[in-house]
Amino acid sequence: MRCALGVDIGGTKIQFCHIAENLSVTALGQTPTALLRRGTPLFAGDLAELIRSRLPLDADGVAVSLNGVLNGGTVAYSSLMGGKVNFPLAAFLSQALACEVRVDDDIHAMAIAEAHAGAGGDGAPFALLNLGTGIGVGCYAGNVLRGHFAAGLISEQMLYIDELNEYRSLDRTVCGRGIREMYYQLSGQHADAVTLFSRAIGGEDAPAVQTIGLFTRYLGRVMQMISRFYHPERIIINGSIKKAAGYYLDQARAYYHEGLEPAFHAEIMVSPLAHAAELGTFLGGIYPHGKYAGVQKE
């Protein structure tokens, strides 16, 4: 596969990009995930039709990333496809599209991209913290840490939120979904994360300020957990919420350093990569093992 259509399937949107042979990435737009039949394996057939309509003429393959538990090219579990499905997505799409298809979960793919083309290129061990609609962690130290096949899926880890007097999962606290839910709980109103960051910066919406404050504080706690679990040299933040890092990251660093032993301190930075999940899925097929000083063309 020399160049490819990159497809990243998220909970709210599916985004497309063109990955060239020199690894340059060009955005090709997005479509709402809700337009496909979610919660059933029929999602795969809808996805194949959508990809076919977006496939560039010069692409000789497709790199698909998604949020779920994968075993190779098989989706073991995905809420988008109905839960525990063991669906051979890579083989299905390859046959439907008559081209090579690579499939990976977004967390591990993003870590691979960071190792080969981003902030992890110096070989130091790092953790990739994906902050989007949900949350996940990818760890890289020569190879991406997959465990049996699902390492890094920390979304259901529980935290006690003092201000709300309840336990909440990370997926309902330190991500876009969590920001929306906490704001609704505090205000009784609906708003997306982008709007709430804007309102918090303006300071005119007290529940928005409190919500983003909670997100920031518990992001610091999550980064402490990552450092104690994995002891990386750096924590690299990617995902849609990285766009607001200028607002929350300095304070999150301060929370991170509070009570964390200096020996565990890691450099915290924002990823320079766009479309990292798609790029990492593409690169994972070229270099499935090991870390290389540079990305070579096939």
Topology annotation, domain 4-111+275-286: Nucleotidyltransferase; domain 5 (3.30.420)
Q: What is the pTM of this model?
A: 0.90
Per-domain residue ranges of the chain: 4-111+275-286, 121-270
4-111+275-286 and 121-270 in the same fold = yes
121-270: what fold?
A: Nucleotidyltransferase; domain 5 (3.30.420)
- Pairwise CA distance, residues 239 & 243, whole Å: 8
Within 8 A by CB and 6+ apart from 130, the residues are 106, 107, 110, 136, 137, 138, 238, 239
Q: Can you tell me the distance from the alpha carbon of 151 to that of 35, in angstroms, rounded to the nearest whole number?
A: 30
- For the record, the structure tokens of 225 come out as 């957990």
User: What is the predicted pLDDT for the residue at 294?
Assistant: 38
Tens-level pLDDT at each residue, the chain (298 residues)? 889 999 999 888 999 999 998 899 999 999 999 999 999 999 999 999 999 999 998 999 999 999 888 988 999 999 899 999 999 999 999 999 999 999 999 999 999 999 998 988 888 999 999 999 889 999 999 889 988 877 888 888 999 999 899 999 999 999 999 999 999 999 999 999 999 999 999 898 999 999 999 999 999 999 999 999 999 999 999 999 999 999 999 999 999 999 899 999 999 999 999 999 999 999 987 544 444 333 332 2
Cα dist from 296 to 60, 62, 117, 289, whole Å? 18, 19, 11, 14
